[in-house]
Structure 1
């Protein structure tokens, strides 16, 4: 069994900027929803059987209470933000399991569902479909990360090749380097290369010695970096907490819930309202072919 887990928020953003605008007669911008739902249906048409899409019902999460600069919805185009709820509604009408995150983020939902899937002996491969570097921490064993736009797949060795650290050190690496997309700055002076070099040896921030001579590594400005880490260790651990996915986010407790069996009746009306009746036709034709 193959399990496909899709970053719905990323898909909606990607298609919003990639496809032409489409405004319905009642004034709604729906271009991104039409394209993103069509893209997920294409995965089913290409053979996916057990699939879920994780979404951010709202941009804010529990992490906003931990760090005031954490990402929120303030910079998102209102025409895109208005499509979030509609996207979820159409996905659910298409019969696609939708992991709607409210207190958590879509990334947490993907990580939690990947954990459930990987623990199932029937599952051979778990495909996390997103280029988001946060999800690299989940890679390993059955779990791989796919960038559908580029057509690339990375396993644990690929994570090391790309970031310089093992998957389990990704939250530490992000904490030191920072993540502008999520809104935390990292530590001054720490770059991708220096962080990777130190973490390859020590694994986690908590295990990095305070004094640079104890590192026994060739790292430029090691003394300055160690002093920065020593003086800002609390911030570093907070950033690591922000970057660490919550694997107890609310998701189904079995992959059986992800098996696609066909659309619901209401998809036809919703698709017509999007000026995209073909979405319902595609879903119904696929369901008929699978049940033949």
Structure 2
């Protein structure tokens, strides 16, 4: 049963790493990966001397950090709230509703978001009817676009991410809640002193993994929501690799950018684990 997993990682994760050498070459289709001319660190030098590249890295860091620190608490909160629901039918209904968005593609979710927040959309329609005034261009305002980006990501993934925390909640001893109740602790005190400490190991592991993805803003979400008006904040590494690498043929430059992205993620994982190790919550 383990062999297909090993084969998957060997074929789709480790073998493609051989292609990273084009980050140090002037790659052309005609000469191939091995035959292309070595240029050393020239691609990295070009990458960090271009104003556009610096802006793209800045946008990626900004959106990723906001996604981690704004979106990270929501699955935890949702799992705790679901764990407190005692009516089974109501709990199943809510779980279905919050899990469902995860199975929609970003094309579908992007269409819903655009329909809601366009100038002729539902949100503007309701706001103008209730408060008057002119429709607001949410998708063409930088701060509003960032808010919509974060909100749509939380709505889509928070329910599915909560599954891990719900599983972790099942291993907390019920006797701890009984003891806390006998000592006079209410629901909020029980959550603070029993539930959250019981989830702390899982939270740390998920945070370490999330920090490893800080430089990886999802291509699908950004691509379906972005527009030229907000490109100053919406152009990120994944979309740049698509436009400059696949469409523009700058394979060596975008490979260098991808390698830089992976190295930053690796360093952040190691640093986060080192911090967690001080509290005896490390991943390794």
TM-score above 0.5, yes or no: no
Tell me the TM-score normalised to structure 1 length: 0.20
Work out which of the two has the higher radius of gyration on C-alpha atoms and give 1 or 2: 2
**Relative contact order: is structure 1 or structure 2 higher (C-alpha 8 Å, sep ≥ 6)?**
2
Tell me the TM-score normalised to structure 2 length: 0.21
Whose strand proportion is higher, 1 or 2? 1
